[in-house]
Amino acid sequence: MLGFDWYAMELRSGILPGLLAQVDKPTLIGEFSFPPTYDLVRGFGVYAAANAADERGGGQAYQRWVSTSAPEPTTVGTMWFPHRDEPVSGRRPCPAGEADAPVCGEHYAFGAADETDRPKYQRMRRANLMRGSAEAAIDRFVGADGARPDVPRSDTGEHFAEAALAKADGP
């Protein structure tokens, strides 16, 4: 098993597709996130590698990202990072000589819940849709005896994600 973190708006971006093509073992994506910027009015920083304008955009990015990881041949799972947003004052401690700085260290809205532990419903709704899509894919491709038929991985995720996106963006 190879575990790694990949902060990017798209799973299949940068050097990752070439690296995954060379891996002959299962991979687990340990961290990814799309912290909302909230138009810079809530005090959070802008995470340059991957971000969203608001909760809805973060949820849409999450759903798109997970749906592209499903058909990737080596990927066996992903994990969201982290549970709660980082404090707007930063993760601290402040570097020497900056003890009175108003913000020290990372201060991004990474979490599935905000800094007061309220769930980010747009993101959680999409996570639930993706969980249902994954369960449907597993049910479709695993036989009653638990044996998985010989089916190409590229046929296991993208069509489920399209249906889930249409449902989430509906009325």
- Dump strand ranges (E) for 15-101: 27-31, 75-78
User: Considering the entire predicted model, what is its pTM?
Assistant: 0.70
Q: Which helix (H) or strand (E) holds 109?
A: none
Say if CB 7 and CB 50 are below 8 A apart: yes
Say if CB 143 and CB 149 are below 8 A apart: yes
In the sheet that holds 27-31, the strands lie side by side as: 2-5, 27-31, 75-78
pLDDT of residue 52: 92
Confidence of residue 148 (pLDDT cuts 50, 70, 90): low
Give me the amino acid identity at 73. Answer: P
Calculate Rg over the CA atoms of the chain: 18
Tell me: the pLDDT tens digits for 66-121?
Answer: 888 888 888 888 887 777 888 888 877 887 777 778 888 888 888 888 888 888 88
Q: Let me know if 19 is exposed, middle or buried by CB neighbors in 10 A (0-12, 13-18, 19+).
A: middle
**What's the CA gap between 86 and 110, in Å, rounded?**
7
- Supply the mean pLDDT for the chain: 77
- Mean pLDDT, range 123-138, rounded to an integer: 73
pLDDT of residue 143: 56
* Eight-class DSSP state of 41: -
Q: Which residues of 107-138 are buried (b: 16+ CB within 10 A; e: fewer)?
A: bbbbbbeebeeeebebbebbbebbeebbeebe
Tell me: the pLDDT tens digits for 33-77?
Answer: 899 998 888 878 898 899 999 988 988 998 888 888 888 888 888
Give me the amino acid identity at 34. Answer: F
